[in-house]
Amino acid sequence: MFEIQAGKFTNTFCESWNIKRLSNFKYLRPENEQFHFLYLYFAKNNNRQFFEDMIKSALQTERAKYAPKMPKALHGNVKIVYGSNTESVADQEEIKKIFPHTYGLPLVTFAEGGDGEILPVMNVGVILSGGQAPGGHNVISGLFDGLKKLNSENKLFGFLGGPGGLVSHQYVELTAAIVEEYRNTGGFDIIGSGREKLESTDQFDKGLDVCRNLNIKAVIVIGGDDSNTNACIIAEYYLHKGSDIQVIGCPKTIDGDLKNEMIETSFGFDTACKVYCELIGNIMRDANSAKKYWHFIKLMGRSASHIGLECALQTQPNVCLISEEIAENEQTLQQIVDDLVNVISNRAAKGENFGVALIPEGLIEFIPEMKVLISELNDLLAEGHATADAFNAQVTDDEKRDYVIQHLADESSRVFRSLPKGIAKQLTLDRDPHGNVQVSRIETERLLIEMVEKRLSVLKRQGEAKVKFSAQNHFFGYEGRCAAPSNFDADYCYSLGRTAALLVANGKTGYMASVRNTTAPSDQWIAAGVPFTMMMNMEKRHGSLKPVIQKALVRLDDAPFKAFAAKRNDWAIQTAYVYPGPIQYWGPSSVCDATTKTLQLEQGKYA
């Protein structure tokens, strides 16, 4: 035994044993015997609250008291209402052939009513899949509460580290004490996440065995479009095998590209954008104060520009590039640079040698000439190919650069040569597990800065421009993924979890939980279930056509982009910055419960 002096019991001391939450050492961290002892010591001496307060921030302590709002239908007894049968958004015959058991299922909604009977005891498993998004803990909280409301003996098991935890039998029972510590908090640390996909029948069968051993009735997959596509494949396989284990999904991704007519928004998008907008606003205020820097800010969003567009609508930057528009107009990299130079020069003519430009993470893959170049590089540097081995055999960076230039098609070779050496090198770094360039590692914002500087230097030598240009580059990504969820995301995620519990109770499989009408007050939200297959189409993945949930790109004919396009020319010249400030959790509903401008514009609720 060892003595404890409360005054010396510091956060640093806690961190030395990797303690972040009370539940970690009480339930999930058996190796931390010292902390189990400390907890018992403080509890025995009536100092438990002191102990808990030390491992929570004041905000977290207060935030834990927040009771999420949810649809009126979910408060009392609930009945299920069936809608019409569905079909996939495209490629109906192919999707139906691949998913004969889960294709064409009807839409379902939940309404007030029902007899309120206590259902038989059931165990449910939950998986967090893919990158983190604010609100995941509230989905699990809502799921837990929904299951306990159906029958207090129900149990929820969390599979650790993502989908891999299912097949490796790594799990923890999520008790009330554990769940209580994570309500309204950011992150996925309650059970962890992972990007492993379950793709082989051997993996499916192992998962089936684990579920049978734990007497699990259903598995809830909380993830993005790829994770939910995977969930649909598993649901179909289990039905094919004659298993009654259900699979339900929940729509997660801060990128905002998992949405359609039935999924109005993916959770985490609201919070992440609010975090990024606070940071952008802070930089705008600094830029407008110092008046000497252009700030090029790269934002999350590889496959779509929803985050960039939302942040532009909230903060009014001088420039915001939209990848989908650039692809539509088939702009070259040099044309993009020329457009930036024009804005910078026009502001300089007014004496404003500062500004803010927002750059989507995936921009480089939407520029047609760059897309072709990247495709050629992926083939040239594919693992196991002779050309990849020959490239790796080159000793210096210059030798590797020359080798690539010699082995590309003429146009791609020209583009590659035009790139700054540092960026060109980033394009040749190790590929991801699918053989593709790792876009997040390409400093697109730095590429544009260097090319703008080069262009301005040429214009200056030619006597066509005398612009003072000094730039800073930023990348806002991880900063938004684990923030404490906004009121909207806290409410929305909790409602998704409660809806998922009802889908399980009603015997559904192959469905994604849906909550709609989200620009209305939360008691008017609609809880529903949407068949996975309704959202699917066939896309080319790794050289062959695969069924996948269709990604939602920024639509140039929709209200959010039109609202942005109508104002951007004014914002380019004027300093019209808006400073949103931090997320507000308490205060007027118009401030603390506000949804994204994207969602308001899409539903005609924004003036």
Taken in order 36, 38, 41, 47, is the CA torsion positive or negative?
Answer: negative
Q: Determine the 3-state secondary structure of 515 from DSSP.
A: strand
Intra-chain end-to-end CA distance of the chain, in Å: 66
How many CA atoms are closer than 13 Å to the CA of 171, on its beta-carbon side? 25
Rounded to 5°, angle at Cα 193 from 201 and 489: 120
Ordered alpha helix ranges (H), 129-224? 136-150, 164-167, 176-180, 201-213
Look at residues 233, 199, 134, 27 and name the one whose alpha carbon lies nearest to residue 490.
Answer: 134
Look at residues 572, 603, 20 and name the one whose alpha carbon lies nearest to residue 317.
Answer: 572
255 is catalytic: yes
What's the token pair of residue 535?
């959202």
Residue partners of 375: CB distance under 8 A and separation at least 6 = none
Say how far apart CA 170 and CA 562 lie, in whole Å: 48
The beta-carbon contacts of 82-89 under 8 Å, at least 24 apart in sequence, are 82/106, 82/107, 82/108, 83/107, 83/108, 83/109, 86/530, 86/531, 86/533, 86/534, 87/534, 88/533, 88/534, 88/535, 88/536, 88/537, 89/260, 89/534, 89/535, 89/536, 89/537, 89/550
Say how far apart CA 111 and CA 231 lie, in whole Å: 26
**HEC states along 86-122?**
CCCCCCHHHHHHHCCCCCCCEEEEEEECCCCCCCCCC
What's the token pair of residue 441?
């590692």
Q: Determine the 3-state secondary structure of 538 from DSSP.
A: strand
**Angle subtended by helix axes 136-150 and 487-505, to nearest 10:** 40
What is the strand order of the sheet 319-320 is part of? 319-320, 355-360, 294-299, 471-476
* Per-residue buried b or exposed e for 583-607, using 16+ beta carbons within 10 Å of the residue's own CB: bebeeeeeeebbbbbbbbbbbeebe
From 226, 255, 257, 491, the catalytic residue: 255
| Beta carbons within 10 angstroms of residue 407's beta carbon | 17
Phi, psi angles (nearest 5°) of residue 440:
-65, -20
What's the token pair of residue 377?
């590089």
Spatial contact of 164 and 247, defined as CB atoms under 8 Å apart:
no
Active site residues: 255
